[in-house]
Amino acid sequence: MYQPQYEAMPRNELEGLQLERLRTVLRRVYDNVDFYRRSFDAAGVKPDVGSLAEFVSYPFTLKDDLRDAYPFNLFAAPLRDIVRVHSSSGTTGQITVVGYTRNDIDNWADLMARTIAAAGGTPDDIVQVTYGYGLFTGGLGVHYGSERLGCVTIPISGGNTKRQVQVLKDFGTTILACTPSYALLIAETAKEMGVDLSTTSLRAGIFGAEPWSENMRLQIQELLGIKAIDIYGLSEVLGPGVAAECGEQNGLHVNEDHFLIEIVDEETLQPVPDGAYGEVVFTTLTKEGIPVIRYRTRDISRIIPGDCPCGRTSKRMERVTGRSDDMIIVRGVNVFPSQIEQVLTGIAGVAPHYQVILGKKGTMDTVEVRVEVAPDMDFDEIRGLETLQRRVRAEIESALAVSIAVKLVEPKSIERSEGKAKRVVDLRGEQQGA
């Protein structure tokens, strides 16, 4: 543990610390941000909350509130004190901008040092930071944590996959940080280059920024010969460093001394008991630049009940398998692309690369899942290919409870992403009534 005094703090002390920090942050936003002053007043709540239990009556903050505040209107510190900004990717509309004070950057480095240490990292490690550097939080987030822990930090950023493999091999990278889909591309590319990753020094990966399945984890672990650790974060709350798995790989420890986690029912928005699924809601306890109060992440998860053998006392959230932003609604059924991935990684003969094409025929939504055939398939066997196609279709339909079409496509024909994979193409707007 990098900071055992916080990571393994007795629960009653931790909750005391949370309440104290919560009062400070509520006062900070009430005094400095118009939006919060108005929303607290409208809800009839005061900044000096009496207890953590009382906090559930405070108003939520939504993604749209951040969009409306573009670019700096939710900042709680004057720009003189802001030393960095990042933004969300903005794939679903107006980007949202977040600002960090010097203290925020300092805390972030500690939290990412915790993350790398929880993955088994020490100052002896060599960390290849393949997350993108720039407005995206991934690259610089991991970078500062890796330096804080004392690792050799390779700021290679994303892209140029052959160079990634070359550097990984020549520099003796021990920990790789990137999206899980990019880790698979690196594995594929290494194979093409004749580099056997299992003979390199690589031993762990910290993967996040997109939902991934347990099957994909097993596949990455096997292909790269490493332990694959899930990390979680979002720019609105911090970036990477909000929660991360330990070596147990059984849930992500939330850094509760900095973030208050709640799970609420998606319909009633009331808290659910530990163990029950719901929408994840975060309140930042220490952030100065842009604190968020009861921010609804749209991510679906649950708190895993019980203690973790690793000794950390923090609550564990289950890996996020779907963000409700990624969720697609097909003929009234909620579908997460990660469910498709989970199916594909369990079928020999297809690669876990796929794309979902949504269309419209009359008033009916149509779903075509394009799936790559594995390159070592016997392509002369039409029956074999047809059987494969039917099997993929049947298994996806059974997982999603929606009827779909499956199109087998050529190996490596689906565009590989160097950041977050683009899994869904929605043509429904263009095909109205066709």
Partner 1 sequence: MIEQVSVFLENKPGHLAELTRALANAGINLRALMLADTSQFGVARIICDHPRAAKAVLDSAGFGVSITPVLAVEIPDTPGGIADVLDVLGRAGVNVEYAYAFVEPGRSAAVDIFKVDDPAAAEVLTAAGINVIAPDRLYAVDTAV
Binding stretches for partner 1 (CB under 8 A): 373, 375, 377-380, 382, 385-386, 389, 407-413
What's the token pair of residue 410?
């050529």
CB nearer partner 1, residue 70 or residue 379: 379
CB nearer partner 1, residue 388 or residue 421: 388
Label the pairing between strands 350-361 and 424-426.
Answer: parallel
Report DSSP state, residue 271.
B
CB nearer partner 1, residue 56 or residue 405: 405
The least distance separating partner 1 from the CB of residue 390, rounded to whole angstroms, comes to 11
The least distance separating partner 1 from the CB of residue 327, rounded to whole angstroms, comes to 28
Whole-number Å distance between alpha carbons of 368 and 405: 5
CB nearer partner 1, residue 112 or residue 396: 396
Whole-number Å distance between alpha carbons of 258 and 18: 8
The least distance separating partner 1 from the CB of residue 379, rounded to whole angstroms, comes to 4
Strand partners, 359: 366
The least distance separating partner 1 from the CB of residue 404, rounded to whole angstroms, comes to 13
CB nearer partner 1, residue 168 or residue 392: 392
Whole-number Å distance between alpha carbons of 32 and 46: 14
Q: Is the Cα dihedral 249, 251, 348, 169 positive or negative?
A: negative
CB nearer partner 1, residue 38 or residue 390: 390
Q: Is 113 helix (H, G, I), strand (E, B) or coil?
A: helix
Contact between residue 45 and residue 30 where contact means Cβ atoms under 8 Å apart = no
The least distance separating partner 1 from the CB of residue 41, rounded to whole angstroms, comes to 60
The least distance separating partner 1 from the CB of residue 405, rounded to whole angstroms, comes to 9
> Which H helix or E strand runs over 391?
helix 382-400
- The DSSP annotation for 249-266 comes to -SSEEE-TTTEEEEEE-T
